[in-house]
Structure 1
Amino acid sequence: MSANTRGSMIPTTAVIVAMAFGVAAVTAQSDPIAARQALMKTNGKQAKLGSDMIRGKVPFALDNAKAIFLSFIDAANKMPNLFPENSKTGGDTSAAPEIWANMDDFKARFAKLAADSKAALETVKDRESFTAAYRNVNRTCDGCHEHYRVKKS
């Protein structure tokens, strides 16, 4: 690829990325339930990878460990905005009504998740440090799920 071709690819790629973010923002506004479920599904996959690394089911990889925490940070920053009043009901949601009754606490839990994940990102260096950091972050997730997720039977 020539330098001229590469130079024209950068703006094109930037436009595609910007469009993807725009589509995600529109989706979040038009269907916040689907948007938050997609984020949680991504977090679930990352959490499984983290658990598998801790258990030795998959080899520890520092890049993967950091990607897990980056995913949690991303979700923690986006999720508080995906619970507008009009998304209390409708769709297949496991969001508990307590979310809207305790929105300040709910948002504070996401702030804690972001802070814990950022701290983990800065301290993880190996499997041992990852295990400790991951378990701490996972407790933060569990605490929110205990209060704000409807348990399905």
Structure 2
Amino acid sequence: MHNLFNHILKYLRNLLLFSIISFFSLNALAEQSVEDIIKGRQQIFDRNYTMAKRVQALSEQGKFDEAINLMVRMNEGYKKVINMFPENTKKGFGTEALPTIWEDKENFNQLMVKTSDDLIKLTSLIKETDNIEATLGQFMWGNCKACHNKFREEH
């Protein structure tokens, strides 16, 4: 009987140890996942900003085909980023997202869709416009500004 008791005690101790290890491992994986999401969306926004500056320069140089290729890539980024703001990613890992994204999720998502749609419109307008700066301001930079004003911390 004493042997059975020791065996059960050893089993329970191992079960407890396994549970504790699993708990911390799952939390670490969950944190990693949150980090990946936050850093992933930051990367998309950073890349889109870099491409937007390049679109501006290329358009001013009359290199419209190259600019259009970048606009299409930016469009894809805005479509992806809509799904990168789950509730558990409000804080940490250098996020500059304001709580208004989650409080006003519908408007944030609509702005991302509008930005994406406007970039596609811009691909057909950029070659024909008489005022490149104003057209880029209306269909690209204006959306960036609208998002930053409402959904991003100042820096």
Q: TM-score, normalised by structure 2?
A: 0.70
Task: Let me know the Cα RMSD of the aligned residues.
Answer: 2.3
Corresponding position: 1:74 with 2:76: yes
The percentage of aligned residue pairs carrying the same residue is 25
How far 1:140 sits from its partner (Å)?
Answer: 1.2
Aligned CA distance change for structure 1 residues 29 and 118 (closer, same or farther; 3 Å): farther
Q: Which has the larger radius of gyration?
A: 2
Alpha-carbon distance in structure 2 between the residues aligned to 1:109 and 1:34: 21
Question: In the alignment, which of 89, 93, 96 is matched to residue 94 of structure 1?
Answer: 96
1:87-124 CA-to-partner distances (Å, cap 9, x unmatched) read: 10110111111110000000000111011111111222
From the superposition, tell whether residues 29 and 70 of structure 1 become closer, same or farther in structure 2 (CA, over 3 Å). farther
**Matched residue count:** 123
Structure 1 residues 29, 88: CA separation in 2 closer, same or farther (over 3 Å shift)?
A: closer
Does the 8 Å CA contact 2:64/2:127 hold for their aligned counterparts? yes
Distance 1:60 1:28 in 2: 42
Q: 1:40 aligns with which of 42, 45, 61?
A: 45
Partner SS state of residue 143, structure 1 = helix
Question: Could you say which residue in structure 1 is the equivalent of 2:3?
Answer: none
Task: Provide structure 1 residue ranges, at least 5 long, that are not aligned to the other structure.
Answer: 1-26
Q: Secondary structure at the match of 2:153?
A: coil
Amino acid at match of 1:86: N
Give the TM-score normalised by structure 1: 0.71
Q: How far apart are the structure 1 equivalents of 2:33 and 2:47?
A: 15
Pair 1:145 & 2:151 matched:
no
Give the whole-Å Cα distance in 2 for the aligned partners of 1:28 and 1:77.
Answer: 20
Distance 1:64 1:46, change over 3 A: same
- Whether the 8 Å CA contact 2:75–2:115 is kept in 1: the answer is yes
Contact map agreement 1:97 1:148 (CA 8 A) in 2: yes
Q: Is the 8 A contact 2:55 2:71 kept in 1?
A: no
Q: Cα–Cα, structure 1 residues 64 and 107, in superposed 2: closer, same or farther, change >3 Å? A: same
Paired AA for residue 151 in structure 1: E
Shift of 1:130: 4.4
